[in-house]
Amino acid sequence: MNKKVRVRFAPSPTGGLHLGGVRTVLFNYLFAKHFDGDFIVRIEDTDQSRFVEGAEDYIFKTLAWCGLEPDESPRHGDQQSKYAPYRQSERKSIYKKYAEELIAKGFAYYAFDTSTELEAKRKEINNFQYNHATRLQMKNSLTLSKDAVEKLLKDNTPHVVRINMPLNEEIKFTDMIRGEVSFNSSQVDDKVLLKADEMPTYHLAVVVDDYLMNITHAFRGEEWLPSAPVHILLWQYLFGLENMPQWAHLPLILKPDGNGKLSKRDGDRLGFPVFAMDWVDPKTNEITTGFKERGFLPEAFVNMLAMLGWNDGTDQEIFLMSELIEKFSMEHVHKNGAKFDYEKAKWYNGEWIKRTPTYNLRFAIYDLLKSNEIIPDENKLEQVIELVKDRCTLLTDFVQQSSFFFKSPETFDIAAIQPKWNEQKNLFFLELIREFELMQFWNHDSLENEFKELASANQIKPGELMLPLRIMLVGGKFGPHVFNIAEILGKEETIKRIQHTLKLLTSTT
Dist CA 186 CA 249 (whole Å):
22
- Tell me which of 33, 162, 217, 220 binds ligand GLU, using CB under 6 A: 220
- Residue 181 has what DSSP assignment? E
**In the complex, least distance from residue 115 CB atom to ligand GLU, rounded to whole angstroms:** 24
Phi-psi region of 490 (alpha: psi -120 to 50; beta: other; left: phi over 0): left
- Interface pick for ligand GLU out of 103, 206, 388, 486 (rule CB under 6 A): 206
Q: How far is the CB of 257 from ligand GLU (least distance, A)?
A: 25
Q: How far apart are CA 275 and CA 287, in angstroms?
A: 11
Which of the following is catalytic: 264, 407, 491, 496?
264
Closest CA to 500 of 481, 473, 464: 473
Q: How far is C-alpha 451 from the chain's CA centre?
A: 49
Task: Tell me: does residue 11 bind ligand GLU (CB under 6 A).
Answer: yes
Q: How far is CA 161 from the centre of its chain?
A: 36
Nearer to ligand GLU, 44 or 299 (CB): 44
Is residue 202 part of the contact set for ligand GLU (CB under 6 A)? Answer: yes
Contact 215, 3 (CB under 8 A): no
Does the protein bind ligand GLU through residue 224 (CB under 6 A)?
yes
Q: Say how far apart CA 103 and CA 94 lie, in whole Å.
A: 16
Complex with ligand GLU: residue 26 or 300, whichever CB lies closer: 26
**Residue 188 neighbours by CB under 8 Å, 6+ apart:** 131, 165, 229, 230
Nearest to 276 by CA among 28, 67, 63: 63
Does the annotation mark 339 as catalytic?
no
Instruction: Tell me the number of residues near ligand GLU by CB under 6 A.
Output: 8
Looking only at the bridges linking them, the beta strands covering 279-280 and 287-288 are: antiparallel
Q: Interior CA angle at 82 toward 50 and 72, to 5°?
A: 60
What residue type is 345 in one-letter code? Answer: A
Task: Yes or no: say if 300 and 291 are a contact pair by the CB < 8 Å rule.
Answer: no
Answer for which of 6, 7, 12, 254 binds ligand GLU (CB under 6 A) is: 12
Tell me the window of 7-15, 285-293, 336-344, 400-408 that interacts with ligand GLU (CB under 6 A).
7-15
In the complex, the smallest distance separating the C-beta of residue 224 from ligand GLU, rounded to whole angstroms, is 5
Position 19 contacts ligand GLU (CB under 6 A): no
Q: Which of 44, 72, 351, 487 binds ligand GLU (CB under 6 A)?
A: 44
**According to the binding rule CB under 6 A, does residue 200 interact with ligand GLU?**
no
Looking at the Cβ atoms of 44 and 190, the one nearer to ligand GLU is: 44
Q: Which of 113, 96, 114 is nearest to 104 (CA)?
A: 96
| Binding of residue 235 to ligand GLU (CB under 6 A) | no
Shortest separation between residue 201's beta carbon and ligand GLU, angstroms: 11
Shortest distance, CB of residue 263 to ligand GLU, whole angstroms? 15
Q: Fill in the per-residue mask, 259 to 298: x = in contact with ligand GLU (CB under 6 A), - = not in contact.
A: ----------------------------------------
Q: Which span sits near ligand GLU by CB under 6 A: 9-17, 152-160, 316-324, 334-342? A: 9-17
Q: Is 88 in the site for ligand GLU (CB under 6 A)?
A: no
Spatial contact of 326 and 91, defined as CB atoms under 8 Å apart: no
**How far is residue 56's CA from residue 9's CA, in Å, rounded to a whole number?**
13
Catalytic residue numbers? 264
Which residues are near ligand GLU by CB under 6 A? 10-12, 44, 202, 206, 220, 224
